Amino acid sequence: MTTLLAFLATLAILIVFHEFGHYLVARLAGVKVLRFSVGFGKVIARREDRQGTEWALSAIPLGGYVKMLDEREAPVPPEQLAGAFNRKPLAARAAIVAAGPLANFLLAILLFWGLFMTGVPTLKPVLGEPPAGTPAALAGIRSGETVTAVNGEPVESFQDLHWLALRHAIGNAQLRVDTLDDKGHLSYRTLTVSERDASFDQAPLAALGLQRYRPPLPAVLGDLAPDGVAARSGLRQGDLILAIDDRPVAQWEQVVALVRAAPGKPRRFQVERQGRAIELTLIPASINEGGQTVGRIGAAPRLDMAELAKYQGEARYGPWEALTRAITRTWDLSVFSLEMLGRMLIGQVSLKNLSGPITIADYAGQSAATGAASFIAFLALVSVSLGVLNLLPVPLLDGGHLLYYFAEFLTGRPVSEQVQEIGQKIGIGLLTLLMFFALYNDLQRLFVG
């Protein structure tokens, strides 16, 4: 239910803001707006305002539209010709079309601005021990080092590290990472990427071996999933796990490793509960994770909040700096999205990076469950993506209409209806193909992992 509500809220906010951009500029240009619809298909609720605009809610919530008075769609009474879209100057028509995507960029800036002023929870960029054989391990990075810069750009948080690694590692064979150890020694490491696949594009930090430092956790049970294997088998919060199948364990990571390695296989847990030794047999559930079957018992470690607080922080800025950072973040995301699309077209980045409505709904639910700040950041990210997508020069999208207007500007006459019909067919084909790949990737993530 959380996922569904978060997805519907995401669609409603982004669609309304996008279409309101079209609506507002159309009204400012003197165009009569006939209908403002959230959703497509059959109208299920409507209301008409004093200007004669019908505000509608339609049955299919995957989009929306603003319908304007236009002689190309239906006859227009002579007394209303001044309010027809097609009668407006080229600059006005282009501004109306561009206003939708620009509204999405504006929304992203406002959301980021609010986040940066109110404060964003951050994680300090302290690294854990990199897995053997990864670029970070081969470069000599060690546990406890703090990243200060990536390719010369300063790093203030682990979120910064993730973003800069994603931005600089795509398409580049090398990445320079500056680190500071606990003795204050600064090191400059070059991480070399010899091979890359779709997993690298989607999770560059993991592929590089740059993983977050986690303080050692004792093998003490914290929260248990109510219907998980651990709770059903008799384990309780506060239980200290001493051994699994007679193998002594001291840290939570050892418990995780032994459980993950035994999906569907019995494991004997020796635990200490209030000074008493207890032995229980658990059969870890089989879970598909990244195409691999692993075991899981539905248990989390007991956390030392004071210790964890040492590695947490908050990014908070004054109004002007927050606005500057919000504009910069929106610009960087827009440029990066275009770069990723371009690399997909020439085969440098896997098409598996495309996401459709199922993945968006999943991320919406996860971000909403994490907290308001995560959901707002997710909204801003999707708003940028929607703005970039709509500006692509593909017929049926806003960018396709702007392409026609640019041709009209060069030639001095509108693009012919025949050319527009051909473009419409091409646009439908391209968007159908795009949606096919996106839905295929969604289903792959859902059923394969």
Closest CA to 432 of 401, 405, 403, 394: 394
Closest CA to 300 of 338, 253, 347: 253
Strands 247-248 and 267-273: unpaired
Amino acid present at 253: E
Q: Which two tokens stand for residue 411?
A: 């030639």
145 catalytic residue (yes or no): no
Closest CA to 151 of 130, 174, 180: 174
Catalytic residue among 19, 71, 156, 289: 19
Pair 323, 113: CB distance under 8 Å: yes
Amino acid present at 245: D
Report d(CA 115, CA 112) in Å as an integer.
5
Centre a 10 Å sphere on the Cβ of residue 148 and count the other Cβ atoms it contains: 16
* Per-residue buried b or exposed e for 307-320, using 16+ beta carbons within 10 Å of the residue's own CB: eeeebebebebeee
Give residue 155's Cα distance to chain centre.
Answer: 20
Report d(CA 379, CA 291) in Å as an integer.
29
Pair 431, 394: CB distance under 8 Å: yes
Report d(CA 106, CA 137) in Å as an integer.
41
Closest CA to 37 of 25, 51, 49, 53: 53
Pair 297, 230: CB distance under 8 Å: yes
Strand order across the 267-273 sheet: 247-248, 240-244, 267-273, 276-282
Closest CA to 123 of 309, 390, 350, 358: 309
Query: At a CB cut-off of 8 Å and minimum separation 6, what does 429 contact?
Result: none
Active-site annotation, residues = 19
